[in-house]
A and B are shown apart, each in its own frame.
Chain A
Amino acid sequence: MKKVDEIIRMTDITKTYGEGEAETTVLRDIDLVVKKGEFLGITGRSGSGKSTLMHIIGLLDSPTSGNYVLNGTDTSKLKEDELAFRRNKEIGFVFQSFNLLPKLSALENVILPAIYAGINNKERTEKATMLLTMLGLENHIGKKPNQMSGGQQQRVAIARALMNDPELILADEPTGNLDTKSGDDVMKTLRHLNDEGKTVIIITHEHDIAIQAKKLIQLEDGMLMHERKKTVAT
């Protein structure tokens, strides 16, 4: 039975690397359900497997065993190009190191996902301009990443994540490379997107950031330790 209000349902997800004696288990028997519109924080020390979990959720990596249903589709049966299609349409990525293409302008970077979605030039340029304006970057549309501050670059990346209107925003340490002020701006933007109905999952090892999520889970040695409701308001 699939429930429409669930965006993610993970059952017994395990991820191991290597073989034989070199085998290391990064994730063990993860069960996780994320409802549409949630703001979930995933915390854990480095090496706890949170990045791997993020990559599996983002369809960048596949689990060794277990079942992952995204938006009602069993992802284990999807081929490489079908995974690419879903990454393109259903997921928006925000990375710690921004991952903007250095030779492209802010506008061109934001447009990228729309190019792979086959949206025409006029429509996608308008959309990208609108998104950049919404994020306060109207004066930086033609700038290259190296002409912008870290906070501005991360906002370009958020605009890019929103380009194809995905339901799910995945943010991997989005404030990790930013000063406190810029980090706060980015978090404010993510909370705002959540208020507008996007499901947001954020990975962080910073407690200050994690507690801004409405729901928090913690990973320890590849295991989901506990799920708790937000206790501290900001």
Chain B
Amino acid sequence: MNIEELFVLSTKAIFANKLRSFLTTLGITIGVFAIIVLVSIGSGLQTYITNEISSLGPNIIDVIPGNSLLTAFGPGTQNKLTISLAQGLSDKLTSTAQVAPLVEVLTTVKYKNIESKNVYAIGTTYVYPKAVVYGKTVIGTFFSKGQEQSGANVAVIGYTVYSKYFKNQNPIGQKIFIGNEKYTVVGVTEKSGVSLGVDHDNVVYMPLEAAHSQFGIDRLTEIVVNAKSQELVPIVKTQINTVLSKKLTKDEFSIQTGDTLVNTISNITNMLSLALGGIAAISLLVGGIGVANIMLVSVTERTKEIGLRKALGAKRNDILAQFLLEAVMLSVTGGIIGIILGMLASIGIAIILVSTVTWWSVILAFGFSAAVGIIFGMAPALRASKLNPIDALRYE
């Protein structure tokens, strides 16, 4: 029997039980669909985060408290990154980098009795706009060294805060409440948008000292160090390490450049993709069991047909190939439908969230569904091929 005849035979058998074939196929479709979509989301997330990080600038070195891997996966360690440490670091690095220490507090902002809850108040120094891309102002200026040192209550507001309170109105010189204290607005930062549900413009910037005295925080969320050139990045890294190691153990701070940050995040998103893909693979496995089940039913139902075919001269492999191909066609059809639906869904998801269809996941999903067909179709097909013609013919 040649392959073309086998195809015709299997297609006929599949169409003979349309509903049953459809439901069997559906199990594989769902499994493959889940793999494609979840892997697409995982890799979309990774691409997105990687792009975000590199948009921060190639020379950025991030100093954060604790061990970055431990804080990502385990309980946080006590924050030992103090304002005075940052000050020391800044003094040592004056010739090679800009150093902007940061504290972040979620607080409430109020203007003319209109409250905004959950606004990020970022306490930093006048260096911030030189170190961080988010610091550019569109109205007014960032607070100056003089303003900062005089201890004045000045604030720079993010674009979202500006839009809410001062649309069509000059915000400079206006007084707003950050927490319980009054601040004078001196500038508005440019719009930087929303990513992963976080609005980067729903922030207010205040002098570090003001944040310290108002909120009583002297531990930093991070220190952003911007090397003056890309060549200086490794030197600056070493300098930071030397300075901080005098006061802290190596588990109490982490130095991350764009590269190491991307690596860390890649590790996390890869693990996420793997976990999601694994869960999806289970559903494909269940789909495969469905194929095996229906093929066993099919073999039993067609025992007499198998016997007759054998009586008429069908060899073992003819019968094996017939039933195996049927199983593979069921699962591959399911796989192809799943791939198409999965790709469409991924494109849909990309509009509101992030998602990139990866070719390897498509090929993998297709290969998986074919393999599922072969593996789960093999037992029923072997069973059919081993039927004794006379027993099968007598079967009613």
- Which residues of chain B are within 8 angstroms of A58 by Cβ–Cβ distance? 311
Interface string of A63-95 (1 = CB under 8 A from B): 000000000000000001100110111000101
State whether the Cβ of A222 lies closer than 8 Å to any Cβ in chain B.
no
Give the interface SS of chain A, mostly helix, strand, loop or mixed. Answer: helix
Task: Judge whether B313 and A84 touch: CB under 8 Å.
Answer: yes
**Residue among B12, B309, B312 with max Cβ neighbours from chain A (10 Å):** B312
State whether the Cβ of B274 lies closer than 8 Å to any Cβ in chain A.
no
Interface string of B349-391 (1 = CB under 8 A from A): 0000000000000000000000000000000000000000110
Q: Given A60-B390, A60-B393, does the pair A116, B313 have CB atoms closer than 8 Å?
A: yes
Instruction: Give the distance in Å from the alpha carbon of A85 to the alpha carbon of B310 in the complex.
Output: 10
Q: Which chain A residues numbered 71 to 130 have a C-beta less than 8 Å away from chain B?
A: 80-81, 84-85, 87-89, 93, 95, 99, 101, 103, 112-113, 115-118
State whether the Cβ of B16 lies closer than 8 Å to any Cβ in chain A.
yes
Task: Judge whether B309 and A112 touch: CB under 8 Å.
Answer: yes
Number of A-B contacts (CB under 8 A): 55
Q: Given A84-B313, A84-B315, A101-B305, does the pair A55, B16 have CB atoms closer than 8 Å?
A: no
How many chain B residues touch the partner (CB < 8 A)? Answer: 21
Task: Judge whether A88 and B312 touch: CB under 8 Å.
Answer: yes
Task: Judge whether A103 and B1 touch: CB under 8 Å.
Answer: no
Task: Judge whether A115 and B315 touch: CB under 8 Å.
Answer: no
State whether the Cβ of B152 lies closer than 8 Å to any Cβ in chain A.
no
- Which residues of chain A are within 8 angstroms of B5 by Cβ–Cβ distance? 115
State whether the Cβ of A50 lies closer than 8 Å to any Cβ in chain B.
no
In the complex, the chain A residue whose C-beta lies closest to that of B6 is A115
- Which residues of chain A are within 8 angstroms of B318 by Cβ–Cβ distance? 116
- Which residues of chain B are within 8 angstroms of A115 by Cβ–Cβ distance? 1, 5
Task: Judge whether A85 and B311 touch: CB under 8 Å.
Answer: no
Instruction: Give the distance in Å from the alpha carbon of A60 to the alpha carbon of B310 in the complex.
Output: 9
Q: Which chain A residues numbered 152 to 204 have a C-beta less than 8 Å away from chain B?
A: 160, 164
Task: Judge whether B393 and A112 touch: CB under 8 Å.
Answer: no
Instruction: Give the distance in Å from the alpha carbon of A80 to the alpha carbon of B316 in the complex.
Output: 8
State whether the Cβ of A138 lies closer than 8 Å to any Cβ in chain B.
no
Out of A55, A84, A101, A164, which one reaches B310, CB within 8 Å? A84
Task: Judge whether A112 and B315 touch: CB under 8 Å.
Answer: no
Q: Which residues of B contact A (CB under 8 A)?
A: 1-2, 5, 12, 16, 304-305, 308-318, 389-390, 393
Q: Which residues of A contact B (CB under 8 A)?
A: 55, 58, 60-61, 80-81, 84-85, 87-89, 93, 95, 99, 101, 103, 112-113, 115-118, 160, 164
